Structure 1
Amino acid sequence: MKKKWVLRGLVILLILIADIGLDRISKNYIRHNFRYYEEILPFKNNLHYLITRVENSGAFLSLGDSLGNPWRFMLLTLMPAAVLLFGLAYIIIKTNLHKLTVLGIILVLAGGMGNLYDRWVYGSVTDFMLIKYPWFKTGVFNVADVSIMIGVGLLLVQSFISDRKTKKIVDNQQVISK
């Protein structure tokens, strides 16, 4: 039992380190090699994917960037730090979670930690990826944001799968009781 718990902890730690490491490396590269708002097309003959450097002092889509400093620090640094600590404790303590749920939470935590590090050290988050189509355009985002979105997607998929299994069990019990 203890061996399984240690292995689980190591897997969680390795995924966190790999994800945060990729985020740090990509942001450091952008921060040291790109000027603000400089645009680069990473793929020849493809105008839909751009690399551009933006420093975001707010949250997702720059929400909260106009808040005064004590409020911005509390809402965008202290509160996320508390939520991330709670999430980390949750996946460590709750050993009966589905693997997809754990992976989803880990990815959300890693992305949150990557962006929180930027906010804490630099006062803003470095964003650099942009997708532009005539019918669809993203805000500028980073590897941590992608990690968060994939993590949320996995949590939604797991929730849907779990709901379907629960509904099937309830339906079967109703058939048996009739």
Structure 2
Amino acid sequence: MKTNKFLRICIIVLLVVINVGCDQVSKSIVRKNIDAYEHIELIDDNLILTKVENTGAFLSAGGTLPEPIRNVLLSLVPALVLAGALSYAFFNQSLKTSTLIGLCFIIGGGIGNVFDRIKYGSVTDFLHIQLGWFETGIFNMADVSIMIGFGLLLLQYFRKSEIPQEN
């Protein structure tokens, strides 16, 4: 993304803040208005709101670890990785726009979940999709941001690999 440095930093910060904001606002609404394990069908039985507190990572991985180890593995390490990714986004001027946007979505989603772990000791998950044979675990908007970000990075990777190499 080739723009002046100040504008580039503003765009990065804006994208990250929008992702964190959407995540935190949605979780705040859920925390205030939905009881734990309440089952609310939004689109028939295909999109369901169910509030759970996840002390682990993806699909509750690591949730049963002793608290000090869990704090290091699920809060401190991700926070350091996110700081490194944010630095990379700020200082690597050669990133393509789609790569930078994907990275900002991942960083924003990661910050949203790490913030929850630090503030609440768990991450609030509340969305569940069930479409015939396709069914997700319970997730949140930070997870959506992370998945969109990875999708953009994968798309960029595959588009790049399709370009014939010149000899």
Q: Same fold (TM over 0.5)?
A: yes
Report deviation, 1:16. Answer: 1.1
Larger Rg: 1
What is the 5 A alignment of 1:11-160? 11-43=11-43, 46-160=44-158
TM-score by length of 2: 0.96
The letter of the residue matching 2:142 is A
Partner secondary structure for residue 42 of structure 1: strand
Residues 71-116 of structure 1 deviation map (CA, whole Å, 9 limit, x = unaligned)? 1011001100000000000010101111111011000000000000
Tell me the amino acid that sits aligned with residue 14 of structure 1.
Answer: L
For residue 4 of structure 2, give the secondary structure of its aligned residue in structure 1: helix
Shift of 1:169: 2.3
Question: Which of the pair is proportionally richer in helix?
Answer: 1
2:76 maps to a residue whose letter is L
Matched residues in 1 for 2:90 and 2:13: separation? 10
Name the amino acid aligned to 2:12. I
Alpha-carbon deviation of 1:69?
1.1
Further displaced range: 156-165 or 136-145:
156-165
Q: 5+ residue gaps in structure 1? A: 174-178
Deviations 1:116-147 (A, max 9, x none): 00000000000000011331210000000000
Q: Give, as a single letter, the amino acid of the residue that structure 1 aligns with 2:55.
A: S
Instruction: Provide TM-score, normalisation by structure 1.
Output: 0.90
Cα root mean square deviation, aligned = 1.0
